[in-house]
Amino acid sequence: MVDVLVIGAGPAGLSLVAALAEQGLAVQGLAPTPPAMPWSNTYGIWADELEDLGLTSFLSHRWKDCVVHVRGKTLPLHRDYGLLDRDRIQAHWLGQAEQGQVQWHQGKAMAIHRVGDLTQVTTETGTILSARLVIDATGHQSNLLQRSPHPQLAFQAAYGLVGRFSKPPIEPHQMVLMDYRDDHLSPEEQQTPPTFLYAMDLGDDLYFVEETSLAHHPAIAIATLEHRLYQRLHHRGVEVKEVHHIERCLFPMNLPLPDFSQPVVGFGGAASMVHPASGYMVGALLRRGPGLAQAVATSLKDSRLTSTQVAQTAWQALWPPARLRKHFLYLFGLENLMAFNAAQLNHFFEAFFQLETEAWSGFLADSLSLPELIQAMVGLFGRASNDVRWGLMRSVVDYGSLLGRSLLP
């Protein structure tokens, strides 16, 4: 009997298959393409997030010189940033899976049914796979999990390219987390939703430059971001000479949490694990996957539990009450960010990145306790300019229910 069937073989699915195999469980993986098919997204992560897990050897690039530009100011971040070596970490997880009892199936899951105490997945070719527990890791567009619809989904959107340029688009050896300067835009354009440049020197005269909309409802069009990227480069006297790779990015930042009583569990984008105020998720996968796998293994061994109870234990392990409370606080943060105009956003990030490094990095990595998080936000309020404070207070009125869900017992 198969213990767990994981649907999807992106970073969430593959890392979890590996973690479940390490627990000695019999696992099946289902994905439309072979699990060794290379991933196309560029995954950035703070180096200390990997240090804590002993995984820094999986960085392909590491920058010490990391900065944020806001109007009139450059803020050094004093924190190393890196790019994941996608191929190596993928091979590492596939290797871990091979050491255990893992069987891969190629196909697309179309429907999930309960039959007795088992869960069955039907693929588009009619194949039926059964397991005691099914985990949906099909990403942000998952339609296999039940959740309430969101009337106003906010999307992160970006258009980026890896290429060579007539001159360095950013300082050599540097990583620019955010460049919110907008002097290349007309006064009218400066009134439209702000976007920023995310960029890095990849060495060998190659740079990655990406124009990004942190979050907006509706999503900012990719064509608009592409136009903005070229506008920004042109303003700096930089021409694109060669394009090696193009990245188009679009995913929801506030996908509603799944229904935790359903017998199917989620992981990754499908389980709304993207940090709502930053869009990052890979660190969360690495931190939360092993604990989820352990909880699944422990509860599957308990013969008194039905598979629905096993699923509920797994949901609890992934989304315990303390993490849920922080999630609502991040959602409140997201609403603030979307309500700010360009000037407020510049002032906000100026204050945010001048907090103690532990405070802003803990906010982004979700590694602070709720009291620490509140302390960081109070510190931010104290440090922020009046226009930002005013915006934050207005959000308390407009989005107080999110604050209530994080602060009230």
- Where along the sequence are the contacts to ligand FAD (CB under 6 A)? 7-13, 30-32, 41-44, 108-109, 137-139, 247, 249, 251, 268-269, 274, 279-282
Least distance (Å) from ligand FAD to the CB of residue 249? 3
Which H or E run contains 215?
strand 206-216
Least distance (Å) from ligand FAD to the CB of residue 292? 13
Residue 208: which of 79, 76, 63, 58 has the closest Cα? 63
**From CA 11, how far away is CA 192, in angstroms rounded?**
34
**From CA 383, how far away is CA 374, in angstroms rounded?**
14
Phi-psi region of 268 (alpha: psi -120 to 50; beta: other; left: phi over 0): left
**From CA 407, how far away is CA 409, in angstroms rounded?**
7
Contact 290, 19 (CB under 8 A): yes
Q: By C-beta, is 175 or 388 nearer to ligand FAD? A: 175
Rounded to a whole number of angstroms, the distance between the first and last alpha carbons of the chain is 42
Tokens of 290: 């092993």
DSSP 56: G
Q: By C-beta, is 163 or 269 nearer to ligand FAD? A: 269
Least distance (Å) from ligand FAD to the CB of residue 186? 28
Q: By C-beta, is 212 or 307 nearer to ligand FAD? A: 212
Least distance (Å) from ligand FAD to the CB of residue 55? 14
Q: By C-beta, is 363 or 399 nearer to ligand FAD? A: 363
Contact 337, 401 (CB under 8 A): no
Q: By C-beta, is 8 or 169 nearer to ligand FAD? A: 8
Q: By C-beta, is 137 or 388 nearer to ligand FAD? A: 137
Least distance (Å) from ligand FAD to the CB of residue 282? 4
Q: By C-beta, is 250 or 324 nearer to ligand FAD? A: 250
Residue nearest to ligand FAD (CB): 10
How is 73-95 classified by DSSP, letter by letter?
Answer: EEEE--S-EEEE-HHHHHHHHHH
Q: By C-beta, is 289 or 391 nearer to ligand FAD? A: 289
Tokens 């069937």 belong to residue? 5
Contact 342, 26 (CB under 8 A): no
Least distance (Å) from ligand FAD to the CB of residue 314? 16
Q: By C-beta, is 58 or 399 nearer to ligand FAD? A: 58
Least distance (Å) from ligand FAD to the CB of residue 342? 24
Least distance (Å) from ligand FAD to the CB of residue 271? 8
Least distance (Å) from ligand FAD to the CB of residue 105? 9
Least distance (Å) from ligand FAD to the CB of residue 42? 6
Q: By C-beta, is 11 or 276 nearer to ligand FAD? A: 11
Task: Give ∠ CA 298-114-145 in degrees, rounded to 5.
Answer: 80
Burial classification of residue 233, based on how many CB atoms lie within 10 Å of its CB (0-12 exposed, 13-18 middle, 19 or more buried): buried
User: What SS3 string covers 128-153?
Assistant: EEEECEEEECCCCCCCCCCECCCCCC
**From CA 28, how far away is CA 3, in angstroms rounded?**
8
**From CA 286, how far away is CA 58, in angstroms rounded?**
12
